[in-house]
A and B are shown apart, each in its own frame.
Chain A
Amino acid sequence: MAFILHVNGRPHRVEADGETLLLWVIREWLGLTGTKYGCGIAQCGACTVHVDGQPMRSCSTPVSMVAGSDITTIEGVAGPEAEAIRKAWVARDVPQCGFCQSGQIMSAVALLRTRPAPTDGDIDMAMSGNICRCATYTRIRAAIHDAAAAAAGTPEAA
């Protein structure tokens, strides 16, 4: 079957079975390998992308479900929240191996978009679906707070 997928603002025509999982279409049909496989059962968050702005586990999402939706991957995520998050990640040297970080950033950006000044409780809620086996959690938490503060301090920036 053919689907039109809107990924990172561009339409792509994809030939695949309807039940093909979005993760593999993104990675192997479109060649966007920043989105990772970590568990395949919506447990780890390494495969997180935004579908119409909502964080979703692409490993458990059939491609037929998202045809016509706006899909954003780590390669395409942009805007003031994404910029603030990336800056904060660099300032705190968050990544270790880095493998989970695409997913972490996608979840963190989505969090900041709905809660510009998240509490620790908000961060626990939004980020506990993203496993980091290197346990960079303390730095992720701090960096999210930094990013929120930076965004609040400079509302006009970016």
Chain B
Amino acid sequence: MTEQSSSGRRFALTRRRMILGGSLVGGALVVGYAVTHPMQVAGAILSGGGRDPEPSAFGSFIRIAPDGWVTIVNRQQELGQGIHAGMAAIVAEELDADWDRVRVVDSRSNFRAYGVQGTAGSRSISGNWDQMRKAGAAARFMFVSAAAARWNVARGSIAVRDGIVSHPPSGRSASFAELLAEASLQEPPQSPTLKQAGDYRLIGTDRVRRKDVLPRITGAQIYTQDVRRPGMLVAMVAHSPRFGGRVARFDPSDARRIKGVVDVFAIETGVAVLAENSFTARRGRDALRIEWDDSEAERRSTPDITRHYEDVANGRTDLEPAEFAMKGEDAGAPFTGQVAEFAFHFPYLAHAPMETLDCVAKVDGWDVSITSGAHLPIVDQVQAARVALTIPGKVDVEVIPAGGSFGRRGLMASDYVVEAVRVAKHARGRPVKLIWTREDEMGGGYYRPMSHHRAWVQIGADGFPERWRFRSVCQPLLPFGGNPQAVEGIAESPYFSTATSVDGKLFSPRFPVPVSFWRSVGHSYTAMVMEHMIDQLARRAGRDPAEYRRILYQRAGASRRVAVLDELCRRAGWGTAIEPGWARGLAVHEPFGTVIGQVAEVRLEQGKPIVRRVVAVVDCGIAVSPDQIAAQMEGGIGFGLSAALYGAITLKDGVVEQGNFDTYPVLRMSEMPAVETYIMPSTGRPTGMGEPGVAPIAPAVANALLALTGKATDRLPFMGGGMV
């Protein structure tokens, strides 16, 4: 895994010269990393004048104001995963700031030049880790130097704590605020000394809590749905019921007759209704009569696609596979002796974030502005410029908090942003808020892809795998490049440690149902593939599933997995008695560098799995904010369990059969298990926690059901959900 891409899944980020700089800007000390040429940096900082540096010139940065407040200007999107708390803690730790006077604000500015910005792959904390630590340490260094000079004492005799710089021998002290001007004259060190993990006073403690709760419990937080602008119109778009369908003709007359409907017109993705308010836009849209041209549309039903995937996996089509995880000379040779055979089917899944997709856009000649809860504002900026026929530098992107995303707001296609800009082009310079209804979102594609996996395992006399063979079928997530996400979590499995050969082939069919990243991406099903197979292999070998795993991990040298597994067994009471009718199931997986294990306690009630408790152990490097890690674990488990129980988007003659939470049920309060989270002590750099919690829950439940009933699960969701 490289620094900026997890499992090769992310686009390349521009590498630029990073340089640490610091200066007095409008009375405040600003310290941060510039991502441009050093000469330009100096200019950016010294031009000061009360404004923060241009975000294009800086990554996230720190501002220490004359009132003593430390502000971190954050360039990562807060999508609910508590990034703010982690970022603030990292800086406050190295700076030795007063934690109660540290805050984080989002960089809402306009990305006039290409910056490196995006929130993906659970990397927000880890990606910022080094930079923000160094920036904090550099600022601290500048204060220490300033104090040493002022008091004419050695730097080494100076202490800093809670925003107060002191010289214990003489009893002198000064606050950050008092030292601002002098500190700003100090040269920031390019490689400041960082604290050792053992010296942390804040990181890893329960004092690291979110600082953005209040507006979320008073109704004050503004999401895109809530944005109001003078003269703003609301737009809704009628989309083709089939992917790849186009408008043949439409009759707008009834819609136009509705008071408050301002305009009706066709755009690339359907027919748009512009109205004075949301209610009227919806009514206008309902009144449209549209005839669709389905000549290039997807018209199959889910069972057709399922059968097609089976044909593909069985080599009955001419689709050429790509190889993955190849190992051993005899990979292609026929299996002999004891062979276990497996097959899995996984459905399309909608993200269904609580806030449906929306975007405020204004197009005024060459100038475009967009406001949304973007993940990848830079991509949105480029896409918006493309459809507005302007240059990216003319597109202002304002990023505000999103009501969830789970990957949906981070598309390379920027579908709803592009649509908002297309609509706004018709609004004569007035701002337009595009709102997707829940039905639009669930029927709108960009799903977690459907996939099918077949596997064969030749089992040795000792009961452990000798040879593996995989045939996986999954649509690629991106329009270009390979399809590594489809088999992440399989390709690098430690379970191959005992095998002499592994033969993995991946088929990547392309067709009009759009797919995209979905929280935990490929791991959302590869955890099920590997972990449910391993439990079945363990049973076949007559071994305890935990012990069977431990042996394979040890052979693979996967020491973090061993440690997580052992802790998990201890915490969950693995191997101890449980009430009749209940069973435990275990799963361990390693998404994006985080090792995570879960044990679920499950019983069956009228065919439905009831999960009462999940014990979870995670090794995610240094735990910056244990409480937020626990929150992400709880949320991930709820999100994963929701999909495992119910999640399925299915097609009938090409039309999505689900529209809202009545036909696409999601987990509710009464179904949420109690979650206990244990964090492994670690001195490693933080790995992500936003996505990993999702992956192991489905196999943990499936393995519990296996223990309970002896029956294996070969498809999700557990409750059927129309998958055939």
A residues contacting B by CB (< 8 A) are: 20-21, 24, 27-29, 31-41, 43-44, 46, 73-75, 86, 89-90, 93-102, 105, 123-124, 127-141
Asked if B669 contacts A97 (CB within 8 A), the reply is: no
Once the chains bind, are A138 and B672 in contact (CB under 8 Å)? yes
Known interface pairs A97-B402, A130-B669; 20 further A-B residue pairs with C-beta atoms within 8 A, sorted by A's residue number: A27-B226, A28-B277, A31-B228, A34-B218, A37-B435, A44-B661, A93-B82, A96-B82, A97-B355, A97-B401, A98-B221, A98-B401, A99-B403, A100-B354, A128-B670, A132-B638, A133-B352, A133-B666, A134-B80, A135-B639
A149 to chain B, nearest CB (A): 18
11 A–B contacts, CB within 8 A, in A order: A27-B278, A29-B277, A31-B228, A33-B222, A36-B354, A43-B660, A75-B219, A94-B217, A100-B403, A105-B217, A133-B406
Q: Which 7 A-B pairs have the closest CB atoms?
A: A34-B219, A135-B638, A99-B403, A98-B216, A97-B80, A33-B226, A96-B80
Contact A24:B279 (CB < 8 A) given known A36-B225, A44-B661, A100-B354: yes
- CB distance A34 to B666 under 8 Å? no
Question: Is B86 located at the chain interface by the 8 A CB criterion?
Answer: no
A29 to B79, CA, bound (A): 28
B215 closest partner in A (C-beta): A98
- Could you give, for residues 221-247 of chain B, a 1 whenever the CB lies within 8 Å of some chain A CB and a 0 otherwise? 111011010000000000000000000
Task: Give the contacting residue for A123; candidates B228, B662, B666, B669; CB below 8 A.
Answer: B669
A80 to chain B, nearest CB (A): 16
A86 surroundings in chain B (CB, below 8 A): 217-218
Considering only CB atoms, which chain A residue lies closest to B435 in the complex? Answer: A37
Query: Given the complex of chains A and B, what is the CA–CA distance between A89 and B212 in angstroms?
Result: 12
- Name the one of A31, A94, A97, A128 contacting B354, with C-beta atoms under 8 angstroms: A97
- The residue on A at minimum CB distance from B667 is A135
Q: Please state if B218 and A21 are interface contacts (CB–CB under 8 Å).
A: no
Asked if B637 contacts A90 (CB within 8 A), the reply is no
Contact check, B631 vs A139: say whether CB atoms are below 8 A apart. Answer: yes
What distance in Å separates the Cβ of B101 from its nearest Cβ neighbour in chain A? 18
* Contact call A89/B213, Cβ cutoff below 8 A: yes
Query: Is B355 within 8 A of A99, CB to CB?
Result: yes
* B351–chain A nearest beta-carbon distance, Å: 8
Would you call A36 and B403 a contact (CB within 8 A)?
yes
For chain B, what secondary structure do more than half of its interface residues adopt (helix, strand, loop), or is it mixed? loop
Distance in Å: Cβ of A20 to nearest Cβ of chain B: 5
* B634–A135 touching, CB < 8 Å: yes
Interface residues on B, range: 35 or more
**In the assembled complex, which residues on chain A have CB atoms less than 8 Å from the CB atom of B634?**
135-139
Q: Which of B223, B354, B675 contacts A133 (CB 8 A)?
A: B354
Contact A46 B639 (CB under 8 A): no
Residue B128 is within 8 A (CB to CB) of chain A in the complex: no
Known contacts A43-B662, A131-B666, A137-B672: does B279 contact A28 (CB below 8 Å)?
yes
Does residue B15 face the partner (Cβ distance < 8 Å to A)? no
Report the bound CA distance from A140 to B217 in whole Å: 12
B429 within 8 A of A: no
* Cβ contact within 8 Å between B670 and A124: yes
Given contacts A33-B226, A34-B219, A133-B639, are A39 and B438 in contact (CB under 8 A)?
yes
CA A46 to CA B404, docked complex, whole Å: 13
CA gap between A130 and B675 in the complex, in Å = 20
Please report the C-alpha to C-alpha distance between residue A111 and residue B174 in the assembled complex, in whole angstroms: 51
Residue B39 is within 8 A (CB to CB) of chain A in the complex: no
In the bound complex, CA of A96 to CA of B402 (Å): 10
Query: Does chain A have a CB within 8 A of B635?
Result: yes
CA distance A129 to B665 in the complex (A): 12
Give the chain A neighbours of B401 by CB distance below 8 A: 97-98
- Asked whether, in the complex, the Cβ of A93 is within 8 Å of the Cβ of B631, the reply is yes
Q: Which residues of A contact B660 (CB under 8 A)?
A: 39-41, 43
Are the CB atoms of A135 and B219 closer together than 8 Å? no
Instruction: List residues of chain B with CB within 8 A of the CB of A41.
Output: 438, 660-662
Return the CB mask of B172-209 against A: 1 if under 8 Å, else 0: 00000000000000000000000000000000000001
Which one, A36, A38, A46, A137, contacts B669 given CB within 8 A? A137
CB of B703 within 8 Å of the partner chain: no
Q: Chain B residues with Cβ under 8 A from A74's Cβ?
A: 218-219
The answer for the CA separation of A116 and B648 in the assembled complex, in Å, is 39
Distance of A130 Cα from B636 Cα, bound (Å): 18
CB of A24 within 8 A of CB of B277, answer yes
Chain B CB count within 10 A is highest, among A35, A123, A132, A133, for A133
| Shortest distance from the beta carbon of A128 to any chain B beta carbon, whole Å | 5
A17 to B355, CA, bound (A): 26
A105 CA to B642 CA in the complex, in Å?
Answer: 22
Q: Which residues of A contact B279 (CB under 8 A)?
A: 20-21, 24, 28
B461 at the interface (CB under 8 A from A): no
Q: Give Cα distance in the complex from A157 to B208, angstroms.
A: 29
- Pair A98/B80 contact, Cβ less than 8 Å: yes
B305 within 8 A of A: no
Closest Cβ neighbor of A41 among chain B residues: B660
Q: How far is the CA of A86 from the CA of B403 in the complex (A)?
A: 19
B475 within 8 A of A: no
In the complex, the answer to whether B404 meets A99 with C-beta atoms within 8 Å is yes
Judging by beta carbons under 8 Å apart, are A37 and B356 in contact?
yes
Q: Shortest Cβ distance from A2 into chain B, in angstroms?
A: 15
Residues of A within 8 A of B668 (CB): 128-129, 131, 137
Report the separation of the CA atoms of residues A41 and B439 in the bound assembly, to the nearest whole angstrom: 10
In the complex, what distance in Å separates the CA atom of A126 from the CA atom of B356? 24
CB distance from B50 to the nearest CB of A (A): 31
* Chain A: minimal CB distance from B439 (Å): 8
Q: Once bound together, how far apart are the Cα atoms of A68 and B79, in whole Å? A: 39
Determine how close the nearest CB of chain A comes to the CB of B639; give it in whole angstroms.
6
Closest to B354 in A: A99
Q: With A24-B277, A24-B279 given, is the CB distance from A135 to B218 under 8 Å?
A: no
Interface residues of B in 67-89 (CB under 8 A from A): 79-82
- Which of A21, A96, A130 counts the most B-chain CB atoms under 10 A from its CB? A96
